[in-house]
Structure 1
Amino acid sequence: MLVIGAGVIGHACALGLQQRGWRTILTDPDRVGAAASWGNAGHIATEQAQPLASPATLRSAPRRLYAFGGPLALRDPLSIAPWVWRYLRACTPASYERGRLALRGLLAQALPAWRRLAQTLEQPELLRETGHWLCWESARSAQQGREGWQRSDIGDTRFDALAASDLDALRTSLRAPIEAGIAFSGTAQIADPRRLAAALHERYQAMGGERRYDRIEALSIDDDGVLARTRDGAQLRAERVLVCAGARSRGLMASLGIDAPLVAERGYHLQWADHDWPDRPPVVFEDRSMIVTRFEGGLRAAGFVEYARVDSPPDPGKWRRLRRHVAELGLPVRGEPNEWFGARPTLPDYLPAMGRSARHPRLHYAFGHQHLGLTLAAISGELMAQAMSGIEAPTDLAAFDLARFGGR
């Protein structure tokens, strides 16, 4: 079995297959951990049970545009016009409701699956079930924000007013006025994405998995199996293939004549190694659409939803705005931060694609997890390994089949 893509989804799937007796080869050219799997906020976002393809998100889009101070940027609008059309169709009430129920079912299993994966890695402390905080800087935004969350489907999580002691401590840490906050329970964080990447890699190899660093450019399938062609002209042969290549999955599927309407939805972060931020859960500054997470390796401020070509250069203005937010908040950081950007693989209905091709039975896929790749990695790995091993899974993957876009 050839697994293409060694992000958190690919690793979780390859581990699940190894556990069920498969011999897998995991290949990805990323040697330094630059992928979106390791550049995110580390948040296990089980509260995000409402797909972002929704009437509410569509209504709020104009005021969230980057030009008006928001996180939403359209850098290559013409290139994603077909995707936008499909997104609009996915925002109809009926389509949204189907997506909500499907996503809610996955998220209900996400945290238990992460507990099992952390045990498999023999590092249960990687998963920190401390919830997260969300705060506002004005009375108006606090009222609107609370009302919005009260109307939202937050799955099996819950929230309460942030404890007075925690609110006071947050105010003490910052220069900006914090009007109010809420504390979520039932969510979690990864202690450090780099340590997670190393733990996945080490455990996979300890279980007998083979790791390669090829850039797979195209696939072909015949009666003898799957042929994967690398950038340097080499060829890999396997009995089956599982595509988990994130935003680059679209090209691999297209080489087999399958439409996977992915876009690269990019995020940015800054991370400081030197800081005085206390050991507390991730904090979302909702007025700024920014989340701040303390990791073992430093303090990370992350944000933005930038639609661009997967290989477009980064926009330095995003990092400048993050720096301004950090300065205005008065986050206790020192020195120069590390700058990062990466592409989330996003489908028009904001649901992942997981399943097996009807046209090419040797082809399996798991990609398109958008903002929830880290959150859904462990359960995705379990479900894919079960389905590919012929075991009846607790969740029907039909809602995540590419057939919903006409791709088979």
Structure 2
Amino acid sequence: MQLRDETVVVGAGVVGMAIAVRLARAGTQVVVLDPLPPGGRASFGNAGIISPATVMPMSGPGVLRKVPGWMSDPLGPLFVSPRHFPRALPWLLRYIMAGRPARVRGIAAAMHYLHRDCVADWEHLLGSEFVARNMRFHGGLQLWSGPGNAKAAALGAEIRKRYGIEAEALSGDRLRELVPDVTPAMKTGLLVRGGGYTLDPAEISAHLVEEFMRLGGRIVQRSVERIHREAPGRILLATNLHPIECRRVVVAAGIWSGRLLAPLGIRIPLEAERGYHATLPNHNVRLEHSIGFKDRGFSVTPMRQGLRVAGTVEFSGLDTPPDMRRAQKLVKHAAELFPGIKHDEPLLWSGFRPSLPDSLPVIGPATADGDVVMAFGHSHYGMSGAPGTARVVDDILHGRHREEHAMFSHHRF
């Protein structure tokens, strides 16, 4: 069997393709393996948020009090199937612990490092003209129907101040000015400067593929089942067809990454967090910003295909069929948020987020020799984190080790 000289990237999602383009730009020969066409799954179905101001993890002060109420509603923001609960419980406990203020501050430092240059990093990968056509950075909105959690708000304000992120508190006329069609029940909000979104996540993936092919990269439709390390610099990839031997591999296979790394003794608390979206074509809502509706745990983004309403968290395992009532519930949430909304038949979707309890991805070497590198677990932040992840992986593979890389190491677990 011939030992391949190319760097193999396992996974053709937005993270894997961003890594592939970045490495190809640096002159590395790269081949990408994935059983499906690039840019599907979570890379397609996400909320499209791309923001250098993303510094807060999903967990935070006050989350513990909300969890029982969320879980009591099968169609609510958080659902754990009874059958899957014993497996999910350790993950959920880690998630709650990640919401302690001291831990949130540490997570925020890592998120700031990864996301702060995401616009420039996307321009490096996609070109400034593409970014100008396909991304908007008017600021990101957060809305509440009540006052929200005071401790969480104070911690968020402290962290934003630390990293120079400007935000404007909203209420009354100013809130209606920015979101004229929102329900009068929405009382308070926050405009986070620098926030943004893409008009079409699929277009980003398609352009990455186009650029990768232009740089001489290859994409092979192949399912990698397991990774074996026969010796330093000699990696055997067991696939659905013939095995492949290579000198170096980057694992960016999303939720399936944990299974691939198990033969190497790597154990990471990676959970399949099912999410849903409803895209509402030909809508009449006037909206120039992305919205995070904090009370109900969903986001609204104005995209080319329509108004994308995305969110909810479901833990039920990889093999359980989706409950599309949860996607239909998002349509109802949109009608409550925008009482006068009109739109065509909703387009419904479900897929898995590769989620870690502290909202940070794992990025770094799995072996002492650095011949297996990990890059997965971006939870809700893959579109913001993909280009920064590509930068970190490029640094690691070219020996540019930085102190900040340790924040993403799998050893934190």
Task: Provide the TM-score with structure 1 as the length reference.
Answer: 0.88
Q: Could you tell me which residue of structure 1 aligns to residue 406 of structure 2? A: 398
- Residue 187 of structure 2: aligned partner: 179
Distance apart, 1:316 and its partner CA = 2.1
SS of 1:26 mapped into structure 2: strand
1:380 aligns with 2:386: no
Q: What is the rounded CA distance, in whole Å, between the counterparts of 1:182 and 1:103 in structure 2?
A: 20
Shift of 1:38: 1.8
Instruction: Give, in whole Å, the separation in 1 of the partners of 2:296 and 2:104.
Output: 26
2:283 to 275, 278, 288: 275
Shift, 1:126, TM fit? 2.3
Change (3 A) 1:22 1:266: same
**In structure 2, what is the equivalent of residue 216 of structure 1?**
224
- 1:311 correspondence with 2:311: no
SS at match of 1:301: strand
**Which of 6, 21, 29 is residue 23 of structure 1 equivalent to?**
29
Secondary structure of the residue that 1:229 maps to in structure 2?
A: strand
1:299 aligns with 2:289: no
Among 146, 149, 153, the alignment partner of 2:153 is 149
Instruction: Determine whether 1:125 maps to 2:133.
Output: yes
Contact 1:240/1:363 (CA < 8 Å) preserved in 2? yes
Given candidates 162, 168, 171, the residue that maps to 1:160 is: 168
Question: Offset of 1:373 from its aligned partner?
Answer: 1.1
Is 1:363 matched with 2:367?
Answer: no
Aligned length: 399
CA distance in 2: counterparts of 1:213 and 1:105, whole angstroms: 33
Query: For the residues of structure 1 that align with 2:99 and 2:188, how far apart are their CA atoms?
Result: 31
Q: Render the CA deviation track for 1:209-230: whole Å, top value 9, x for unaligned.
A: 1011212111112236212122
How far off its partner does 1:162 sit? 4.3
In 2, Cα distance between the equivalents of 1:96 and 1:229?
Answer: 39
Mapped partners of 2:118, 2:187: distance in 1: 32
Q: 1:87 to 1:284 in 2, by over 3 A?
A: closer
In structure 2, stretches of 5+ residues that fail to align are 1-6
Question: Would you say the 8 A contact 1:45–1:372 is kept in 2?
Answer: no
Instruction: Note the alpha carbon deviations across 1:229-276, whole angstroms, 9 max, x for none.
Output: 22x342122211000011110100113221122001121100122222
1:135 to 143, 159, 163: 143
Match of residue 352 from structure 1: 361
- 2:258 and 2:267 in contact (8 A); partners too: yes
2:76 counterpart of 1:67: no
Question: Identity rate of aligned residues, in percent?
Answer: 31
The 5 A counterparts of 1:312-351 are: 312-328=320-336, 329-330=338-339, 332-351=341-360
Q: In the alignment, what sits opposite 1:198?
A: 206
Alpha-carbon shift at residue 199 of structure 1 (Å): 0.8
Decide which moves more: 75-84 or 47-56: 47-56
Give the letter for the 1:28 counterpart.
Answer: D
Partner SS for 1:287: coil
AA matched with 2:379:
Q
Please state if 1:40 is matched with 2:49: no
Mapped contact 1:156–1:186 kept (Cα < 8 A): no
Q: Is the 8 A contact 2:41 2:351 kept in 1?
A: yes
- Residue 47 (structure 1) shift: 3.8
Instruction: Give the distance between the partners of 2:99 and 2:296, measured in 1 at CA.
Output: 25
Distance 1:222 1:8 in 2: 29
Other-structure match for 1:58:
64
Give the match's secondary structure for 2:299. strand
248, 252, 260: which is aligned to 1:240?
A: 248
Alpha-carbon spacing, 1:78–1:104, altered in 2? closer, same or farther (3 Å): same
Q: Residue 315 of structure 1: SS of its match in structure 2?
A: coil
Residue 38 of structure 2 contacts residue 206 of structure 2 at CA under 8 Å; is this kept in 1?
no
On the 8 A contact 1:47/1:156 being kept in 2, the answer is no
Distance 1:288 1:80, change over 3 A: closer
SS at match of 2:211: helix
Residue 274 of structure 2 contacts residue 313 of structure 2 at CA under 8 Å; is this kept in 1? yes
User: Which residue matches 1:10?
Assistant: 16
Match of 1:389 among 384, 398, 401: 398
Residue aligned with 2:348, SS = strand
With 262-271 and 23-32 compared, the bigger mean Cα shift is at: 23-32
Q: CA separation of 1:32/1:271 partners in 2, compared to 1, >3 Å: closer, same or farther?
A: farther
TM-aligned CA deviation for residue 279 of structure 1? 5.0
Work out whether residues 130 and 188 of structure 1, in 8 Å CA contact, stay in contact via their aligned partners in 2. yes
User: In structure 2, the residue corresponding to 1:79 is in which secondary structure?
Assistant: helix
1:110 and 2:118 matched: yes
2:125 & 2:29 partners in 1: Cα distance?
Answer: 19
The alpha-carbon deviation at position 331 of structure 1 amounts to 5.6
Partner of 2:3: none
- Compare 319-328 and 92-101 and name the one that shifted more: 92-101
TM-score w.r.t. length of structure 2: 0.87
